[in-house]
Amino acid sequence: MRVLLIEDDTALGAAIRDQIVADGHSVDWVTRLDRAADSLAAAAYGLILLDLMLPDGLGIPFLRTLRSRGDVTPVIILTALDQVSDRIAGLNAGADDYMVKPFDLAELSARIGSVARRYTGNPNPIMTLGALDIDLAARNVRINGKPVVLTAREWVLFEAFLQRPGQLLSKTQLEERLYSFDTDVDSNAIEVHISRLRKKLGAQVIETERGLGYRLGRA
């Protein structure tokens, strides 16, 4: 999943960024609302992490503007504002979750996973696909009870298919999932990762629609 982090505290921002990357997601980190708007105009995100006190404005009006124009990207507010009225304002503005600083990074990971599953219509973190048992929260896969080791990029790619069963995903959409905003993409990266997933999980786990893209198959 591609995450937009809007946070002006450099120490906290770096810690959150590293946690998100360790969880297997890509992240674009900005410190101002105007740069956040530019990023949202340039790329599609699966989640926004939003601080409420930024150098060039407040997060609540920014969020209200997003929602007023029909943007339904999940948003988790990260802020030091801990009053009940602040929480109510954030949730009423359209936030999906609200975390008060300081918070545990492991809890942030859990909240991100919960919001992501909710938006993809699968709140249950446990899935079965043929012989595969998949734990979305723990990010692990078993075949007939035996664990399968996936790299971070392999998992992110596989997760993209799990979140949209039956839906055709283009190469461009998959590249958006795999890499950060400022990372170059090798022309054959998607083909290489899908080949590795098929070897590990089964030849039928991902189907190819020639010239169009890929979709989740059967394991």
- How many Cα atoms occupy the beta-carbon half-sphere of 55 within 13 Å? 10
Q: What is the pLDDT of residue 17?
A: 94
**Average pLDDT score over residue span 157-168:** 84
Q: Which residues pair with 100 in a beta bridge?
A: 79
Digit-coded pLDDT (tens) for 1-57 = 789 999 999 999 999 999 998 887 889 999 999 999 999 988 878 899 999 999 999
User: Residue for token digits 């938006």?
Assistant: 119
For residues 110 and 204, membership in a common domain is answered with no
Q: Over 70: is that where the pLDDT of 210 sits?
A: yes
User: Which CATH number fits the domain that encloses residue 145?
Assistant: 1.10.10.10
Q: What are phi and psi of 87, to 5 degrees?
A: -60, -45
User: Cis omega (within 30 of 0) on the bond before 102?
Assistant: yes
Q: What is the pLDDT of residue 34?
A: 96
Domain boundary among the residues 62, 85, 119 is at: 119
Digit-coded pLDDT (tens) for 186-197 = 778 899 999 999
Domain boundary among the residues 119, 142, 161 is at: 119
User: Which CATH number fits the domain that encloses residue 16?
Assistant: 3.40.50.2300
Range of the domain at 71: 2-119
Q: What is the pLDDT of residue 24?
A: 79
For residues 79 and 108, membership in a common domain is answered with yes
For residues 100 and 183, membership in a common domain is answered with no
For residues 100 and 130, membership in a common domain is answered with no
Q: What is the pLDDT of residue 6?
A: 98
For residues 96 and 139, membership in a common domain is answered with no
What is the pairing mode between strands 132-135 and 126-129?
antiparallel
Euclidean distance between CA atoms 205 and 217, whole angstroms: 5
For residues 155 and 202, membership in a common domain is answered with yes
Digit-coded pLDDT (tens) for 139-153 = 889 998 899 999 888
Q: Can you give the length of the chain in residues? A: 219
DSSP 185-211: --TTHHHHHHHHHHHHH-TTSEEEETT
Q: What is the pLDDT of residue 181?
A: 46
**Average pLDDT score over residue span 162-170:** 84
Domain boundary among the residues 89, 119, 149 is at: 119
Hey, what amino acid is at 161?
A: F
Question: Tokens for 93?
Answer: 């503005």
Domain total for the chain?
Answer: 2
